[in-house]
Chains A and B, each alone.
Chain A
Amino acid sequence: MHTNQWEVVIGLEIHTQLATKSKIFSGASTEYGAEPNTQACAVDLGFPGVLPVLNKEAVHKAVIFGMAIEAQIAPYSVFARKNYFYPDLPKGYQISQMDLPIVGVGHLDIEVDGETKRIGITRAHLEEDAGKSLHENFHGLSGIDLNRAGTPLLEIVSEPDMRSAKEAVAYMRKLHELVRYLEICDGNMQEGSFRCDANVSVRPKGQQAFGIRAEIKNINSFKFVEKAINHEIERQIELIESGGSVVQETRLYDSVKDETRSMRSKEEANDYRYFPDPDLLPVEIDEAFKAQVKAALPELPEAKKQRFKTYYQLDNESASMLTSSRALADYFEAVVKTSACEAKLCANWITGDLSAALNKADLDISESPVKATQLADLLVRISDNTISGKIAKKVFDTLWQQPNSSADDIIDAEGLKQITDTGAIEAIIDKIIAANLGQVEQYLSGKDKVFGFFVGQVMKEMQGKANPAEVNKMLLAKLKN
């Protein structure tokens, strides 16, 4: 395979469920996990005579998103019917948007291998989700649960700007972070709140025209997106190189077999005959509404990251990590403010020990047993030399186990206070020197490495409670004399 002669072109369509309480066109609950069909009302079921009424919060959340990607918000947008027959769509059409979507052209910047790349967003439109079909165990029939029918979706369509599976994953992650950050979508991929379809094609390097694309449906984890796209790229290149040509079609990714396979035999299914929905009037978004949303918009992740870099002097990696969610950024700023410690120390502890412990316990920052004030108190004790960084890790572990205690309690109870009494340190240094005269000889003859041995011996004798800087200073003075 001559992969380097081919250029890959990828565009993503991402469906995000908007975190509203009720559905986009009805007052039924959107809560996940209810008994089948207990949250499907007459509107969702498409009963005759019902009328959809648009949920204001869905519009609000779409506008928030549009502003976050610096897109134009349509002053006038229209809902259309997308017609097709499928049992999980009782009306025979999905209410969506076609010609006049609510969010216009915008963009999102991604970072891949340290380089920033701007990915265009073509549009984002509001639509209703369909129900779910269950194909198992119904004596040859399918079971339909319409609880999900009518859940508001914002479909975000990117430009074909990505050139590798890696870029596609970076874009998807960035978007996932953004919608959660904006609190417009809970981002739960297991529950289907954030779903991705990928349009993939290849073309000879240097060719202007796009190759024929295949659409890969419903790839619902970051890991699978990368694998599915890479698999599809390989399939297309092999196909073309062996004299065949790619067919425009929808393919389904099978994560077990790690392959994509053709999903629809006939493409006539794509004749959707969109037309404006006569049940819904055009939506007008005026300047006052936009101004209101804009005023309430939180500091956006990118702006926050830049501020963290300049104001707190953090490196790019720490700043990115800390601004990946609003809760984490707030936690960091609370620790810095409460402790008045150096921001770098706070950042290191949060992105290091705390994040590792949270990952291990599979907890979100909001569920951390160690609260920001508790971590702040611990960092204060490192900064004022009450304990060393090493002892602090021990205190942190205890704090994690006993969330109601404080760093000071633990330091007192376990006698972890650093020994600052120079007399005590001196006595131990004298003892160690006297017991290791051979090593003193080596040191004096120019073997500088032996110095580490002495530091280690003293720290061991003092159970790690001596201030390492102080030990170094005193040892050096003693050995030189």
Chain B
Amino acid sequence: MLLTTEDVKKMAYLARLGIETNDLDSYTKDLSGMLDLMTRMNELDTEGVQPMAHPLDQTQRLRVDVVTEVNQREHFQVIAPQVEEGLYLVPKVIE
């Protein structure tokens, strides 16, 4: 297997996903299987092939620099757990 359960735990932490200890082994097996498929693709000769940044073979359309949005603070803040003086309140984060 390409991954260890420790790798999976770390990925879950970085993505802030809660994984049950019971499920760890099956996740490790499934994810390793996916990576295994990737390593098989590595056997292909991709010399001279440009890496794909997007499945659509198109380029980005650009937007003209104009302000089009109006203030909808009240509307957006209806679903916020806690607001004060126009600010969204969250558990204290200080490094």
Where the two chains meet, the residues of A that have a C-beta atom closer than 8 Å to any C-beta of B are 20-22, 26-29, 35-42, 45, 47, 53-59, 78, 83, 85-87, 100, 133-135, 138, 140-146, 263-264, 268, 271, 273, 276, 278, 280-284
Contact = CB atoms under 8 A, between A and B. Distances in A.
B59 interface: yes
Nearest to A30: B67
Contacts of A27: 63, 66-69
Contacts of A133: 93
Contacts of A135: 92, 94
Contacts of B54: 276, 278, 280-282
B58 to A, nearest CB: 5
Interface in B52-69: 53-56, 58-69
Contact of B59 (A45, A142, A284): A284
Contacts of B89: 138, 141-144
A144 B87 contact: yes
A133 B9 CA distance: 29
Contacts of B92: 135, 140-142
Given A38-B71, A142-B89, A281-B59, A57 B53 contact: no
B13 to A, nearest CB: 8
Secondary structure class of chain A's binding surface, majority of residues: loop
B67 A284 contact: no
B82 interface: yes
Contacts of A29: 67, 69
Given A37-B73, A133-B93, A282-B54, 10 more contacts: A22-B68, A36-B87, A37-B76, A83-B14, A142-B92, A143-B84, A264-B95, A278-B55, A283-B60, A284-B60
Nearest to A276: B53
B6 interface: no
B47 interface: no
A45 B95 contact: no
B87 A37 contact: yes
A78 B90 CA distance: 33
A140 B73 CA distance: 23
Interface of B: 14-16, 53-56, 58-69, 71-73, 76-77, 82, 84-95
A26 B68 CA distance: 8
A85 B16 CA distance: 9
Given A37-B73, A281-B56, A54 B62 contact: yes
A28 B88 contact: no
Contacts of A36: 85-87
Which of A26, A53, A138 gathers the greatest number of chain B CB atoms within 10 Å? A138
Which of B14, B73, B88 gathers the greatest number of chain A CB atoms within 10 Å? B88
| Interchain residue pairs A-B with the least CB separation, the first 3 | A27-B68, A143-B87, A57-B65
A26 B69 CA distance: 8
Contact of A280 (B14, B60, B93): B60
A28 B87 contact: no
B88 A54 contact: no
29 contacts: A21-B66, A21-B67, A22-B66, A28-B69, A35-B73, A35-B86, A37-B86, A38-B73, A38-B86, A40-B76, A53-B62, A54-B62, A56-B62, A59-B62, A78-B53, A85-B16, A100-B53, A143-B88, A144-B87, A263-B95, A271-B14, A281-B53, A281-B56, A281-B59, A281-B60, A282-B53, A282-B60, A283-B59, A284-B59
Contacts of A271: 14
Nearest to B60: A281
Contact of B62 (A41, A55, A144, A264): A55
B67 A146 contact: no
A264 B93 CA distance: 12
A128 B68 CA distance: 18
Given A38-B73, A42-B76, A282 B59 contact: yes
Contacts of A140: 92
